[in-house]
Amino acid sequence: MLIVGCGALGTHTADALARAGVGTLHVVDRDIVEWSNLQRQVLFDEADAAASVPKAIAAREHLRAANTDVAVTAHVADCSAAFLREFATPVDLVLDGTDNFPTRYLLNDWCHQRGIPWIYAGAVGTEGAAMVVGPQGPCLRCVWPDPPAQADVGNCETAGILSPAIAAVTAFQTAEALKLLLGAIPTAGVFTCDVWRGHYAVMPVAAAPAADCVVCQHGELPALTAPPPRTATLCGRDAVQIDPPEGGGIALADLERALTGSVEGLERTTHLLRFASDGVRFTVFPDGRALLFGVRDPLRARALYDRWLR
């Protein structure tokens, strides 16, 4: 099983499934553990935040401690089209633990291409939603041909997330995952909830793919073929992710030597290199990807990346 995202959604489902005895888990996440995560991301603790451990690594260690019979593989990476193209391990199911629709559409197209079921999930404010997406449709694009406008759905930055909303959505997601793994019939429709108002429902969707779905009817995979962006703003944070040019890995030991004496707080761990400059905190990974904290403007983030890492 592949769990994409080790934030609030992903840590809840990964913890529940590991304790249920799911044999093999792959967890992928691009981020590091921060203090603000501990309010709702159940696999992490203060030691993880103090050391800025990559979320996928911290999740793996806590899952192994919960159930040593479960094989957990951590992928410290952005779940991009390039990552999925190189992910050759067969999986029976994919779980959405992300916080953005571009990645969800990417999962939708990739799973459709490979005939793998996946389970969409999202939560913001006091509300949440989840849906099982089978390889025969309807797919996510059948229900939402285009990503919902941000003003309509909100995000963790504008609305926050109430922890019980995550628990409700991931309880549905985990139950449906167990059904699929055991060969049972999953729930048809979109599960929705508002835990503050006490509203829970399953909204029906058409049994067949939409007649105009570009994926199900026309065989197109737009998310897999679109040019990848080099920058991405992280939800709810003053942070920007910068991806390197194609094939742009970085030798962290060499970078550490080059930066010594020029930046503040320089520290290299097994998985990353950290330093600060120009009022911005850098976290650099061996594949050349970097998270820049304390900046929102992607153009400024790109300029700082090019200054210190190119």
156-202: pLDDT as tens digits: 555 678 999 999 999 999 999 999 999 999 999 999 999 999 999 99
What is the reported pLDDT for 157? 56
- What is the average per-residue pLDDT within 258-271? 94
Res. 149: pLDDT tops 70: no
Q: What angle do CA 58, 64, 69 make, to 5 degrees?
A: 160
Question: For residue 192, what are the contacts with CB-CB under 8 A and spacing of at least 6?
Answer: 127, 128, 129, 199, 200, 201, 202, 203
What is the reported pLDDT for 148? 73
- CATH numbers and ranges of domains, the chain: 2-225 (3.40.50.720), 231-309 (3.30.310)
Angstrom CA distances, 142 to 105, 118, 134, 213, 215, stand at 11, 14, 12, 6, 8
Backbone angles phi, psi at 123, to 5 degrees: -150, 140
- What is the average per-residue pLDDT within 12-35? 96
The pTM (predicted TM-score) of the whole model is 0.91
Beta-bridge partners for 282: 275, 292
What span, in angstroms and rounded, lies between the C-alpha atoms of 291 and 280?
Answer: 10
The chain-wide mean pLDDT, for the chain, equals 92
> How many other CB atoms sit within 10 Å of the CB of residue 248?
12
What is the reported pLDDT for 231? 83
What is the reported pLDDT for 94? 98
Residue of higher predicted confidence among 86 and 149:
86
- How far, in whole angstroms, is CA 37 from its chain's centroid? 14
Give me the half-sphere count of Cα atoms (radius 13 Å) on the Cβ side of residue 139: 29
Token representation of residue 150: 């941000």
Res. 209: pLDDT tops 70: yes
Helices 55-66/8-20 angle, 10° precision = 30
